[in-house]
Each structure stands twice: as structure tokens, then as C-alpha cells.
């Protein structure tokens, strides 16, 4: 057989709801040989400030993802024809110790980057992105960043703690993991402690589009801007599910009302074509607050869109 080595199970042979839950019914294989993309769960939520539960995010996204089919009409692409994708299992964590978890996750992901594999990670709370950026930057150097979120996550500390889901991008800047000139945050909204909070990303040198500006811009212009900001060098895409309005994605730890709906959120993601993403994630899915499973469905589809972005960047 020609084409990618690893593909999802054939749903014509066995019904989608049968078999163990892997992402998109992909083979559970912990190898880097003949692999383009490794889906990795990062089940941890020790770094949250409000509602916990994102440690069950990977499990919920995997369960929801069994309904995903290979072809995206929006991006006109069958991901399984272009990419060899595996479910690489879960990264190791140290429950109760955020700093140690970050070390273990980065150590787990680094060999993937060294082998030229793109990790698509399922959080976990947003602190996991710092570990992902450490692993990616160790191999690729300082990265461009596209960050979709209701929050900028640039606090210096919270409760006196530096490693937290709200301090990720401040730490990433301090550690030289991202290039501020090639970074773009978008979707920020909700109440703040003061006007200075909204100015903080720009003060750190990050380009930041609050949701009111992103909404006025629209997906196509946003995609253009993101391509211009990130350039052609390696970049990272992080999608915090709370970017989406909690009416559509209630299963998350720190919901902020008045955001994009599901269709709009996917359109903003799918506008990010032509960017050399070497790492991607979908974080902050907390299934305990997601009684109808709608947040996990959206997260699974967002991950499918991200797979399409990887494939399109490679075929361009
Ligand atoms: Mn976040
Ligand atoms: Mn957030």
C-alpha cells in the first residue's frame, strides 16, 4: 500500500464506537518512525486558578474524536492522504507538582521534534504549553506564536507562583522560547483587574487582538495578519478552548462570556493556512462542566482543522 504509514481504523470495517479510544481511531503507537504527526495527551490540571478538571481533557477529546472523518470540506483536504498520524499516548506528569510536570512533558516531547515529528497536544490546563514550547524551541529555536484564547496568560505570578496557567507566555518570553516580534495573541475579553492588564501584552512586545478587534477583522484578514506576523520560520499554534463562548464550549475552567461561536472559532483556526507550525495544542477542556459533550466535540474538530493546517503547510 502506498501513502502514509499510519491511518485511522476503517469505519466501514468496524463501527466507530467500537475498539479502544484513541484520537480519531488512529493506531496507538509510540514511535517516531514513519510518523508525521503524533497526537499526545497531557493529562494535568494542577496549574489552574479556578475550576479544575482539564486532566480529563485528553480522554474527552479522544472519545469525541471517533466521529471525525478524514476529509475537511472547509480546507478541501483529506488529512490521512497527506500525513502519517499516530496517537502517541499521554506524556508523563507529576500530580501536585507543576514544575516537575513541565520538565517531564518537555523531556517526553523533545525526541519527537528531534525526529521531525509534529506533536499535536491535547491538554491539560494551559501551563502545558510552556513545556511544549521548551521542547520545540530546544530543536527549532525561538518560535513564532499564534495564541487563540479569552486570556492573554501573561501574568507575572499568581498566589506568588510563577508556573501557572495564567503566566505561560510571560515565562515563554523570559526563557526566549518565543520571538515577541513574531507572536500574535487574539480573542482576549472579559473583566480584568484594571486597564493596565489589557496593555500588558503590548508592553511585553506581543501583538494582541482583543476579541472586539478580532471580530471586526474577520477570519480572512486575521489569517493574512498571522502569516505576516509569524513569517516563514517555525511557529507554534495554541488554542485555549475558552477562546470560544461558553454557550458553545462550557466545559472549561475559566469561562468568559461574549466570545466567538463554534463556527466562528473554527473559521479563525482554518484561516491560519501557510504557517510552518512545528507544534500545536488544544488546551483547557474540562469535561466535568460539559454535560452534553459539546466542548469536547468542538475540541476534536479544532484538532482536525489543525491537522489540515499541518498537511496544507507541507503540500504548499
Ligand atoms: Mn489560556
Ligand atoms: Mn483562557
pLDDT value of position 307: 98
* 201 Cα–ligand 1 center, Å: 13
pLDDT value of position 2: 75
* 215 Cα–ligand 1 center, Å: 19
Phi, psi of 42 (to 5 degrees): -130, 85
Nearest to 142 by CA among 109, 105, 181: 181
pLDDT value of position 88: 98
* 242 Cα–ligand 1 center, Å: 7
pLDDT value of position 28: 98
Q: Alpha-carbon distance 168 to 163, whole Å?
A: 7
Report the mean per-residue pLDDT for the chain. Answer: 97
Q: Which ligand is nearest to the Cα of residue 282, counting in written order? A: 1
Is the separation of the CB atoms in 112 and 278 below 8 Å? no
* 283 Cα–ligand 2 center, Å: 9
pLDDT value of position 315: 82
Q: Which ligand is nearest to the Cα of residue 147, counting in written order? A: 1
Q: Which residues contact 212 (CB under 8 A, 6 or more apart)?
A: 189
Is the separation of the CB atoms in 43 and 90 below 8 Å? yes
Higher-confidence position of 27 and 12: 27
pLDDT at residue 147 above 60?
Answer: yes
Residue 85 binned pLDDT confidence (cut-offs 50, 70, 90):
very high
pLDDT at residue 187 above 80?
Answer: yes
Higher-confidence position of 3 and 99: 99
Neighbours of ion ligand 1 (CB under 5 A): 126, 149, 151, 153, 240
* 188 Cα–ligand 2 center, Å: 8
* 126 Cα–ligand 1 center, Å: 5
Could you name the CATH architecture of 23-315?
3-Layer(aba) Sandwich (3.40)
Q: Model's pTM, two decimal places?
A: 0.98
28: DSSP letter: B
pLDDT value of position 179: 98
Mean per-residue pLDDT for 132-141? Answer: 98
Phi, psi of 252 (to 5 degrees): -155, 165
Mean per-residue pLDDT for 62-72? Answer: 97
pLDDT value of position 213: 98
H/E stretch holding 179 reads strand 178-188
* 63 Cα–ligand 2 center, Å: 23
Neighbours of ion ligand 2 (CB under 5 A): 149-151, 240, 242
pLDDT tens digit sequence for 215-239? 999 999 999 999 999 999 999 999 9
* 204 Cα–ligand 2 center, Å: 18
pLDDT at residue 205 above 70?
Answer: yes
pLDDT more than 70, % of the chain: 99
Beta bridge partners of 282: 122, 239
Q: Which ligand is nearest to the Cα of residue 126, counting in written order? A: 1
* 146 Cα–ligand 1 center, Å: 12
Q: Alpha-carbon distance 83 to 86, whole Å?
A: 10
Q: What are the boundaries of each domain within the chain?
A: 23-315
Q: Give the three-class secondary structure for 56.
A: helix
pLDDT value of position 244: 98
* 19 Cα–ligand 2 center, Å: 33
pLDDT at residue 1 above 70?
Answer: no
Amino acid at each position: 500500500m502506498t501513502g502514509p504509514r499510519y491511518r485511522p481504523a476503517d469505519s466501514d470495517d468496524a463501527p466507530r464506537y467500537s475498539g479502544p479510544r484513541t484520537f480519531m481511531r488512529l493506531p496507538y503507537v509510540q514511535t517516531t518512525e514513519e510518523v508525521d504527526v503524533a497526537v499526545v495527551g497531557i493529562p494535568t490540571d494542577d496549574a489552574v486558578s479556578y475550576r479544575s478538571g482539564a486532566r480529563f481533557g485528553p480522554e474527552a477529546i479522544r472519545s469525541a474524536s471517533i466521529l471525525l472523518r478524514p476529509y475537511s470540506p472547509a480546507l478541501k483536504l483529506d488529512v490521512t492522504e497527506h500525513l502519517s498520524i499516530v496517537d502517541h499516548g499521554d506524556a508523563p506528569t507529576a500530580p501536585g507538582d507543576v514544575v516537575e510536570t513541565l520538565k517531564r512533558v518537555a523531556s517526553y516531547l523533545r525526541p519527537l521534534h528531534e525526529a521531525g515529528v509534529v506533536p499535536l497536544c491535547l491538554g491539560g490546563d494551559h501551563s502545558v504549553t510552556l513545556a511544549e514550547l521548551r521542547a520545540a524551541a530546544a530543536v527549532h529555536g525561538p518560535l513564532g506564536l499564534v495564541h487563540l484564547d479569552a486570556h492573554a496568560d501573561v501574568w507575572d505570578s499568581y498566589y506568588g507562583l510563577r508556573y501557572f496557567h495564567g503566566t505561560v507566555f510571560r515565562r515563554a518570553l523570559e526563557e526566549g522560547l518565543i520571538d515577541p516580534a513574531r507572536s500574535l495573541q487574539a480573542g482576549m475579553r472579559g473583566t480584568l483587574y484594571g486597564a493596565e492588564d489589557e496593555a500588558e501584552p503590548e508592553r511585553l512586545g506581543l501583538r494582541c487582538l482583543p476579541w472586539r478587534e478580532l471580530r471586526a477583522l474577520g477570519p480572512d484578514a486575521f489569517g493574512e495578519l498571522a502569516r505576516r506576523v509569524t513569517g516563514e520560520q517555525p511557529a507554534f499554534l495554541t488554542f485555549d478552548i475558552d477562546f470560544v463562548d461558553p454557550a458553545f464550549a462550557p466545559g472549561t475552567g475559566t469561562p468568559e462570556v461574549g466570545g466567538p461561536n463554534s463556527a466562528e472559532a473554527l473559521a479563525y483556526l482554518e484561516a491560519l493556512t501557510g504557517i510552518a507550525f512545528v507544534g500545536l495544542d488544544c488546551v483547557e477542556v474540562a469535561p466535568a462542566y460539559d454535560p452534553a459533550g459539546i466542548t469536547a466535540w468542538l475540541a476534536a474538530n479544532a484538532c482536525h482543522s489543525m491537522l489540515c493546517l499541518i498537511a496544507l503547510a507541507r503540500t504548499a
